[in-house]
Every structure is written in C-alpha cells, then in structure tokens.
Structure 1
C-alpha cells in the first residue's frame, strides 16, 4: 500500500457520493492551492513588503546624500528599487513614465488575484447547484417509491445533496481569506511606491546651522 492510497480512496468515495460537482470542486481546490503557493513564492522573490532599504534611501535623499541613497536602493531586494533608482537621476518630465513603470511591476504582483476572486465566488454557487441536483434526485426517488417511502433513504439523499454545498463553502472561504491577505499586501506595496516616488520628486528641505531651510541637492530639487 502506498502512502497516498488511503487519501486516494477517500477522495474516490467523496466523488462517488457528490458526483461530478464534487470532482469539479476538488479540481478548483487544487488550482487554488497552486495559485496560493505561487503567490507566496512570488511575493518572496519580488521582496514584497521589504522596504527597509528603501526607507533608508529616502532618508538619505532627504538629507542630501545621493550616494548613500543610491547604495541603499541597489542593496534593496524590493522589486520597486530599480524604478526608484531610475528616479534618482530623472527630472520631473519623466515622472509619468516612472509611475507607469511602477504600475507595471504592481500589476505583476496582482497577477492571479482575479482567478482567486472568481473561484471564491463560483465555488459556493457550484456547491449550491450540486445540492439542487441532489435534492431533485432525492424527491424523484421519493415520488417513485409511492406509499413505500423509507424516511432513512430520503434523509440519506438529502445529506448527500448538502455535501456539495459544504464542499463549495470549504473551497470558497479559505480562498477568500487568502485573496484578502494578498490584496492587502498589494495595496501596501502600491502605497509605498506612490509615497517613495513622491518623496524623490519632492525631497524634504534640510535646515542650515541657523535653522533656515537649505535647498535639497537631490535630482528633484527643482521639480514642480
């Protein structure tokens, strides 16, 4: 007996009970698991949420130390770092292009969200559809039985029909939770990109020894 044989038998029995709807829901659950694992790997590879080096670069930029800012951005693992590195030497006319570059990277972060959202919405409906089909079969069997109705048979048909609804919810709920978490991470990433670009184009003025503002020496000191 292989280690997966008990699991295979359990899944086969579940499909026999719930029919093709259960099989489809199981397929959707496998897709969801694959997408979630891919997104976790992708977020790690892109450095999503890793903004420490970017924050240090922005502080250096506000302080007029372009070299330190450049070094911090080059050391950053964030996927936004290349865009911000280009921004150090750009002028205000290139701001729309840099925003578009950042947007393209953020779109990559959001890839797969629509698929997860679709499965989260469709899975409960698919489960309900299976329940309706099961109830139709149960009551048709009740009609065919006539006066010789066995309540246990009817009850068994009903719980089997409700199995698909439970399966649909079991797929939809964790999918929705995972999507919400991914979307929150993507939203924070978008906010960070907007704030970082704005900070590079409009650095904070430094103060001289007498407390008077000193013009910033960064590349966007004259950006309007």
Structure 2
C-alpha cells in the first residue's frame, strides 16, 4: 500500500500498534461490561443476610442475584444448610472466591502488557526511522534536501506518538478495571464473612 511504503521503517511498527489498539479497545469494552455488575447487589445481599439471621434460609438464598459475591454467598448458604462446616468449608469458599477473582481479572494483564510495550514499539520505530534518515543523509554526502530529511524525521517520530496513543488508554483502563475487580473480591469477602458471623451467633 502507498501509505505503508511512505512511512518507511515506521510502517510495520504502526501496523503492529494498530493491531494492539484494536485488541485494547475490544478488551476494554468486554471487561467493562463483564465487571460492571460485580460491585452491585449490595442491598440484596444485606436483605438476604437479614433473612438468614432470622432463620428464613430459603428466602435468603432466593433473594440473591448473580454477581460474583452472590454466587459465592449462595454456595456458602447452601453448604451451611447441608451441614458443611469448619475448615473444609472455609477452604472451599476461598477456592471459589479465588476463581471468581481470577475470572474478574482475566484480560487485564493483557491490557497492562499493551500499555507497557506500545511506547517501546513506538520508540523502536522512531529509532529505526532516524537511522534510516541519517543513512540517506550519509549516502547523499551532505547534499540531501532538508525538507526530505525533515520528512523522514517526522515519519519516525510518528511511531512514538502512536505508541503513546495506544498505551495511555490501555494503562488507564487496566488500572480502573483492576480496581473494580478488587472491589468485587472485597464484596465476596465481606458477604461471606458476615454470613459466618451470623452463623456463629445463631438465629435471632
């Protein structure tokens, strides 16, 4: 393609950055939709725990939603109703909580990787473009047109700008999404911890 050839050494780097940008945008959209509900449902869990404290166990389980904290809490309630208690139950709840957190965190590492390597790829494109520009200047034995040399330099610098444009949104999104996943994990710990306290105290 003409534009690809015009960009010289920076063309392949820009193509890679374009692919990384598409992956980044797709991940941001998918993870935002997936993590949007993980911190919700707090009032429903409060109501379910209140029902459990009053001894209405079936009503407590029925009032839960489908967020990560709701799923782990529902399992804990069912296990307690079935007589599953003690260290084995805590270990199983920990395992389920870790699985939920791993699912919430999946894909965020890829965003962090894109944020890390995109500026490096941009810098690589700039360095290779500058090398090419100065090689052309050397071959021209100092007689090169200044406008041609300047054109080669801006083409080289374009890859650094592109790398930063890809990296900045990916870094911001990775940080925000990781924080939301952590809040989802905290919701799981809070819900299960409160259930265990209620169970120790016994029905009102």
**TM-score normalised per structure 2:** 0.86
Query: Structure 2 unaligned runs (5+)?
Result: none
- Quote the Cα distance in structure 2 between the aligned partners of 1:60 and 1:188: 24
Moved over 3 A (4+): 59-68
Whether 1:92 and 2:78 are equivalent positions in the alignment is: no
Q: 1:49 corresponds to which residue?
A: 39
Q: Give the 5 Å matches for 1:155-170.
A: 155-170=150-165
Asked if the contact 1:142/1:149 (under 8 Å) is kept, the reply is yes
1:147 aligned onto 2:142: yes
Matches of 2:5 and 2:181, distance apart in 1: 37
Within the candidate set 180, 190, 193, 2:188 is matched to: 193
Counterpart of 1:124 in structure 2 is 119
Instruction: Give the Cα–Cα distance (whole angstroms) in 2 for the partners of residues 84 and 204 of structure 1.
Output: 13
Taking a change above 3 Å as real, the CA distance of residues 166 and 193 of structure 1, as seen in their structure-2 partners, is: same
Aligned-pair Cα RMSD in Å: 2.3
Normalising to structure 1: TM-score of the pair?
Answer: 0.78
The separation in 2 between residues aligned to 1:176 and 1:59, in whole angstroms, is 40
Unpaired stretches in structure 1, ≥5 consecutive residues: 1-8, 206-214, 219-224
Deviations 1:113-172 (A, max 9, x none): 111111110000000000000000111111112132322222111111000000000000
Q: Secondary structure at the match of 2:63?
A: helix
Higher helix share: 2
For residue 216 of structure 1, report the CA deviation from its aligned partner: 2.6
Deviation (angstroms), 1:63: 5.0
Alignment partner, residue 3 of structure 2: 13
**Bigger relative contact order, structure 1 or 2, given CA contacts below 8 A and separation 6+?**
2
Are the structure 2 counterparts of residues 15 and 84 from structure 1 closer, same or farther at C-alpha, using a change threshold of 3 Å?
farther
Preserved CA contact (<8 Å) 1:15 1:22: no
Determine if the alignment matches structure 1 residue 26 to structure 2 residue 12: no
